[in-house]
Chain A
Amino acid sequence: MDQEQLVKVFTSAVLARRFEAKIVELAMAGELPPSLHVGAGQEVAQIAAIEALRPDDYILYGHRGVAYMVARGVSLADMLADMAGKEGATSRGKGGVMHVVDVPKGILGESGTLGGSFVVSVGVGMALKRKQPDTVVTYFFGDGTANRGPFHEALNWAAVQKLPCVYFCENNGFAISMPTSRSTAVENIADRAAGYNVPGVVVDGSDPVAVYEVMEQAVARARAGHGPTLIEAKVTRLQGHYVADQQEYRTDRNAVAEKDPLPKLQQTLCDRDILTQADVDDIQADADRQIEAAVAAMRAAPLLAPEVALQDVYA
């Protein structure tokens, strides 16, 4: 990962963080429904991983946050429209912000049932192998969803078929309120890779360079026809499962802010003289300008017409 890419990751992470904060602000004010599972703390890993993909590679994502879409340049106004049920909504009011879709940008969507996209990713891999060789699909999922059956069926069959799939686990230590240590028999989700005869790699999700490097290897392996890799990024969930979650179940909640990778990345960029404080200020101001423009566009957009509820069932 070169310096330019690192700045790009930082810039996208700043935008994603601030965009989510704005969404929460609007939700608390009652302007938007509180239907977002905030991804704060996990954006750096998510965006660094996507940076290792080509623009023609595909993504199925988990429910935590909007950084995947921000990294791929999906319109912020359209995502706000997804939340508000307004014209411009990528899923036309059907899926909300949890099911943002933008196929030309490689964003294929998200399952409602947790981990439900494991099985979809296998089919996407089957189609890519036959119709778009040299492209790959990455599925981002949480540690909690790795305890569902589809994880097993998908990993096994993707490995048997040597599909161009990358499985990227964001282990934030919690399945909603339940710590991974109480829900999961292995220490690392990546340990399960042995059961599928695929590489399993654990990486520090707060280190974008490390994440990028393991992704680069996994993507190269998938592209070369050698099959999937199971990557596990250890990440930190800074906030609750949903907007109003006070996290009473969490013993580390007062210390969690110290684990935030975003200020750490900013410090690194400044320490290495890649960015000045003025550059950082500009990046933040630019993010805020984009967000304000998106909010204005969302506010100006009309509500989706009621008959839209009847559309899109069948082709």
Chain B
Amino acid sequence: MPTRTYSQAINDALAEEMRRDENVILYGQDVAVWGGIFKVTDGLLEKFGPDRVFDTPISENVMVGAGVGAASMGLRPVVELQFADFVITAGDEIFFKAGMWRYMHGGAHTIPLVVRAPSGGSGFGPEHSACPEAFIMHAPGLLCAVPSTPADAKALLKQAIRLDNPVIYFEHKLLYQMRGEVPDGEVLTPFGKAVVRREGEAVTIVAWQDMLRRSLTAAERLSQEGIEVEIVDPRTLNPFDRETIIESVKKTGACIVVEEAYRTLGVGAEIGALLLEEALPYLDKPFKRLAIPDVPIPTSQHLVDAIVPSVDDIYRAVKEIAD
């Protein structure tokens, strides 16, 4: 099986879908001539021409809002927001227009829009580093993908482009250079199907993207001490695969959510509430969240390291539960 980076996998997905369907267009700041600030869309202008791949002014509101209008009239726009934080900058267009234009008009419109949003990472400061998926998960009308591997980056994006609903597709900046096997050909990852990345009995960890990578590293270390954790990667947050998490918790009796986002009312809070409502009898240990304390994300690396869950943090949290 060929190996590709996460970034190449996204590029491949875009190229394949644009070749398959002439209604797919791609635009955003610096995506065409320059190939994107993170070079994810490199070469697509040359392949598909300026009518389908084009640069936009620094105008996040109209970038997303035009995506809604274009999608409602039969195109399938893929919009790149330069940083995921800008889902807030384009809040009216993300939450009201993409999320509600169909509902508010009684189903008269269909909005097959994908907004690509590079999230996470460090060194970019408080307004360029967030993983704002909880905002999206909270809002009605928006599907949400959080691919964690090159294979899923490709297969979730291909699926997202074919769906008839708006999708906010978070691509993690620290994963762009991650290399992994990507199957050739038409592989689509269905939305709403979590995957168990590692099986174990000691505790269920729910994590995605860079927190998944850190959890897998911590799991290796724990395994050497005889502690086997189970790791669930949700892959999409809306729709959200509750069953896989509950089934895992039935087996392990404990759950830790690791997320690269603010603690209060984050995805972890929702999973905690889900377990309280539907899996309390199976929980032998208190539910735990590892998340960013409720502060913005600073710029200096050592300050970022002080607040984002680390491999050591995950290791210690599991030890506390497993001991």
Contact = CB atoms under 8 A, between A and B. Distances in A.
Interface of A: 89-95, 99, 101-103, 108-109, 111-113, 116, 118-128, 130-132, 149-150, 153-154, 156-157, 160, 311-315
B65 A313 contact: no
28 contacts: A92-B106, A94-B103, A101-B109, A102-B108, A109-B108, A109-B109, A112-B96, A118-B62, A119-B64, A119-B68, A120-B72, A124-B73, A126-B25, A126-B70, A130-B25, A130-B51, A131-B23, A131-B73, A150-B61, A150-B65, A153-B62, A154-B65, A154-B66, A156-B59, A312-B102, A315-B112, A315-B164, A315-B165
B97 A111 contact: yes
A149 B62 CA distance: 10
Contacts of B286: none
Contacts of B64: 119
A89 B102 CA distance: 14
Contact of A91 (B72, B75, B96, B106): B106
A313 B106 contact: no
Contacts of B112: 315
Interface of B: 23, 25, 51, 56-57, 59, 61-62, 64-75, 77, 92-93, 96-97, 100-112, 140-141, 143, 164-165
Nearest to A150: B61
A116 B104 CA distance: 13
A109 B105 contact: yes
B140 A313 contact: yes
Of the listed residues A128, A130, A150, the one surrounded by the most CB atoms of chain B closer than 10 A to its CB is A130
B57 A160 contact: yes
A122 B57 CA distance: 13
B104 A127 contact: no
Contacts of A313: 102-103, 140-141
A311 to B, nearest CB: 7
Given A90-B108, A95-B105, A120 B61 contact: no
B75 A130 contact: yes
B64 to A, nearest CB: 7
Given A99-B104, A118-B65, A123 B57 contact: no
Contacts of A314: 102, 141, 143, 165
Nearest to A130: B75
Contacts of B59: 153, 156-157
Contacts of B62: 118-119, 122, 150, 153-154, 157
Contacts of A311: 107
